[in-house]
Amino acid sequence: MKPTESCVLGFARPDAAKSKAEAKNVALTKTIIQPAKSPRPVGPYSPAVRVGNLLFCSGQLPLDARTGKLVGDDIRAQTDRVIQNLYTILKQEKLNYDHVVKTTVYLANMEDLPGMNEVYGQYFSRNCPARSTVQVAGLPCGAKVEIEAVASYG
């Protein structure tokens, strides 16, 4: 190591790593994905972002794409719409449910887990993605469920 470089826990400083990446001309492009048939975001975020070989889908709500209004009043109907909204993003990118490697499910009430699992399992029934499920204090628009996903193009 050169006297001007420093290490933390045996790793080179991030700016040193950045210089190496720049020297190799390595760059990852961030591409915003906004499907025309997808509900508009309810805040300052993108529905999905592609970086390299990964697609990061923002949490989808059970919203109708045309009206922007909440769909369904029970967990099964809302989960079905959320997963359909995820599929709209996947389809635009020529992906499907098999490309999803990780999901995070947010529930307003953990007692809705069995109903959510019933519908979720209809879409993710083989080679299921890794998943985290958490209960939250509340979700936008009064939704019962929100699901985000990470998919791989490979």
Q: What is the CATH number of the domain that holds 69?
A: 3.30.1330.40
Q: Which residue has the tokens 């029970």?
A: 74
Q: What local confidence, expressed as pLDDT, does residue 42 receive? A: 83
In a domain, 4, yes or no: no
| Cα distance between residue 98 and residue 123, in whole Å | 9
Domain count within the chain = 1
In a domain, 8, yes or no: no
pLDDT band at 4 (very low <50, low <70, confident <90, very high): very low
Q: Whole domain around residue 38: which residue ranges? A: 28-152
In a domain, 46, yes or no: yes
In a domain, 10, yes or no: no
Among the residue ranges 11-15, 59-63, 105-109, the one predicted with the least confidence is 11-15
pLDDT band at 1 (very low <50, low <70, confident <90, very high): very low
| Cα distance between residue 1 and residue 77, in whole Å | 59
Q: What local confidence, expressed as pLDDT, does residue 28 receive? A: 84
For residues 72 and 10, the model is more confident at 72
> Would you say residue 100 has pLDDT above 90?
yes
* Residues 108-121: tens digit of each pLDDT: 999 999 999 999 99
In a domain, 11, yes or no: no
Which residues touch 96 (CB under 8 Å, ≥6 apart)?
87, 90
* Residues 37-96: tens digit of each pLDDT: 888 888 899 999 999 999 999 999 999 999 999 999 999 999 999 999 999 999 999 999
Beta bridge partners of 56: 49, 150
Beta bridge partners of 107: 135, 145
In a domain, 136, yes or no: yes
In a domain, 23, yes or no: no
Cβ atoms of 102 and 130 within 8 Å: the answer is yes
In a domain, 9, yes or no: no
